[in-house]
Amino acid sequence: MAENSTHHPLLIIGSGPAGYTAAIYAARAGLNPVMYTGMQPGGQLTITTEVENYPGFPEGVQGPELMTFFQKQAERFGTQVNFGLATKVDFTGPIHKVWIDEEKLLTADAIIIATGASAKWLGIESEQRLNGFGVSACAVCDGFFFKGQTVAIVGAGDTAAEEASYLAKLCQKVYMIVRRGEFRASKAMQERVLNTPNIEILYNSETDEILGGKTVEAVRIKNNKTGEKREIPITGFFVAIGHKPNTDIFKGWLNMDETGYLTVKPGTSYTNIGGIFAAGDCADKNYRQAVTAAGSGCMAALDAERWLAAKGLH
């Protein structure tokens, strides 16, 4: 064990649906899990409003409220929840080391990584101001609120194409704001978008400003070839310019794909290092849903419990 450190059998890094579900299972199994929440306790759901697709809530639930339920349930069984950001790791093993906020050293026999991913944003003021009031980074989560309305989506990758197609089924009209003269999305996804009559592609276009007082009322776009500006009335503005998994500190230790998503042994939460498990969006670029994250958090807790038992550590 390292000097001046606190040792825990199981450490959970991250406090979204994956982290808390792992905590609930691990705590009930008697593993006394210790969680460090990261900079955004509760994760991505805490920046959404109503969540209507999390099973068990027939009337829907507010994202922050749902995460409070997760936390209470994890604490009820003895999870120790601490605020703090994991800033460095050393997985030389067999005892794993994690530094919190660059100073506090923790050691653990097993670690569940549930650090999530963060949506990329355009970085304009109106996007932040109207976030949750017509601005969203998740069409699957929020598209329903714009049923029959006119919306815009920015991005030209597979996610944007997929979300534009999803929105087109719900909304009257979808404007797709593409910054270059072409898509990045795969041919098949492009074809799908181009063949959908209620999607209009605005090529060479940048978002100048999202307009609206309390909620989104329009978007002002700028043609980056001609400089011409134009206002388009919309009620929903979706950002789909990619996600970034929060896995930078694991580079060089854990296997990840070229975009930073942790790779796990298929059908499990096992990473390439014994005793380190991954769950939720940090290891999932495909589904990225609260319920899938929660499911994989459960898997990670069961994998960790069995791994600890097999090593005689539990």
Q: Where does this chain bind ligand NDP (CB under 6 A)?
A: 122, 154-160, 162, 179-180, 184, 241-243, 285
The token duo for 107 is 């050691």
**Smallest distance, Å, CB 148 to ligand NDP?**
25
The nearer residue to ligand NDP, 81 or 138, going by C-beta atoms, is: 138
**Smallest distance, Å, CB 155 to ligand NDP?**
4
The nearer residue to ligand NDP, 222 or 285, going by C-beta atoms, is: 285
- Please tell me which residue in 90, 101, 141, 208 is annotated as part of the active site: 141
Question: Is 171 a residue of the active site?
Answer: no
- Please tell me which residue in 142, 281, 284, 303 is annotated as part of the active site: 142
- Please tell me which residue in 138, 171, 284, 303 is annotated as part of the active site: 138
The nearer residue to ligand NDP, 98 or 241, going by C-beta atoms, is: 241
Question: Is 298 a residue of the active site?
Answer: no
Question: Is 142 a residue of the active site?
Answer: yes
**Smallest distance, Å, CB 220 to ligand NDP?**
14
**Smallest distance, Å, CB 176 to ligand NDP?**
10
The nearer residue to ligand NDP, 12 or 240, going by C-beta atoms, is: 240
Enzyme catalytic residues: 138, 141-142
